[in-house]
Amino acid sequence: MKKTTRKHLPFLIAPPRQLPPEVRLARLRDRARWLKKVDLLQAFNSLFDFMPEYRVFLKRRPGEIMFLSRAMLQTLHIEDEACLIGMSDYDLTPGPLAEVYYARDELVLRTGRPIVGALEVWFTREGLPQWFTCYKLPLKDRRGKLVGVIGFLKEYPNFVNLPVREPLKSLVAHIQSNLSKKITVQELADMAYLSTRQVQRMFRDVFGVSPKEFITKVRIHQAVHLLTETDMSLKDIALEVGFCDQSALTFYLRREIGVTPLKFRKAAKAWKAQADSPGVWQSGLTAPSSLRKKLLQEGTKPNSGRRKVS
């Protein structure tokens, strides 16, 4: 049989050739002139209107807001975005949560490193606390100098009802239905007829965390729901979601979202009380004096987000 020579197919997309320095510089300048004419903030709003699960923000200093996407403005009942320019997270959100936002902004600006996929609590358009994954990146000027923070929040309204296949789907359902009990990796492996190593790899491939870490996050998610929607004691909530005691609940909640259960419950109630009064934020003023007084009594400083970064 005659041998045939296999020929390489031509590239459908040819890689661009390296440009001479003067041509490269001319093109960059041309793009810079064009970008000056573009309203990028309006483009952000128009783009993310098609992705309502995302909330986009720009900050100049830790906690100092320069831009919020339309979905965030609607949550805050703000019609004129100029009202919030230069405002602090402490002016718009309950103190304990603002402390978390501020600390993460400061970390990004101090280290120049992004925060990727951290769990954070913000609010739905109805004003209810909800889980989001948070992404924050350093914002630089054309000379490479850090000038702020850009980021977004991605909503996870159904943290455990994620589109996954078997056997992972059954394992997630088992975790959700048995939070108050002790759940081990070996137990999950036996259910799926897999080794513990295979279960570990499966959870990391899909969720990016180990089975143990996933179980903890689901427990925290349910604890946040109970803290917000019920008057159950902290001890009862801890046992209901599978923590051994109230101290364990406090430890894991503080580790995941940065505040204690009691502070979170107070902040959530304060926010919901204000959210029940439509238009309260539309004046563009800072938080109502009654709320600011409440936050001060809890030991927070509504204007501390205006500190300059050294």
Name which of 110, 94, 138 is nearest 296 in CA terms.
Answer: 94
Cβ contacts of 245 within 8 Å, gap of 6 or more: 235, 238, 239
pLDDT of residue 308: 33
Between CA 99 and CA 305 the distance in angstroms is 8
pLDDT of residue 306: 37
Burial classification of residue 129, based on how many CB atoms lie within 10 Å of its CB (0-12 exposed, 13-18 middle, 19 or more buried): buried
Name which of 100, 75, 80 is nearest 90 in CA terms.
Answer: 100
Per-residue pLDDT of 125-183, as tens digits, reads 656 667 788 899 999 998 889 999 999 998 765 555 555 678 988 998 899 899 999 99
Against a cut of 0.85, is the pTM above it?
no
Name which of 302, 260, 279, 257 is nearest 92 in CA terms.
Answer: 302
Between CA 185 and CA 194 the distance in angstroms is 10
pLDDT of residue 126: 58
Q: E strands, 266-307, where?
A: none
Cβ(120)–Cβ(134) below 8 Å = yes
Between CA 227 and CA 269 the distance in angstroms is 10
Cβ contacts of 234 within 8 Å, gap of 6 or more: 246, 249, 250, 261, 262
Residues of the chain with pLDDT under 50: 278-310
Q: Count the Cβ atoms, other than its own, within 10 Å of residue 69.
A: 23
Between CA 154 and CA 196 the distance in angstroms is 31
Per-residue pLDDT of 174-214, as tens digits, reads 998 999 999 999 999 999 999 999 999 888 776 667 899 88
| Lookup: tokens for 225 | 């729901």
* Domains recognised in the chain with CATH numbers: 39-157 (3.30.450.20), 168-263 (1.10.10.60)
29: enclosing H helix or E strand:
helix 21-37
Cβ(305)–Cβ(100) below 8 Å = no
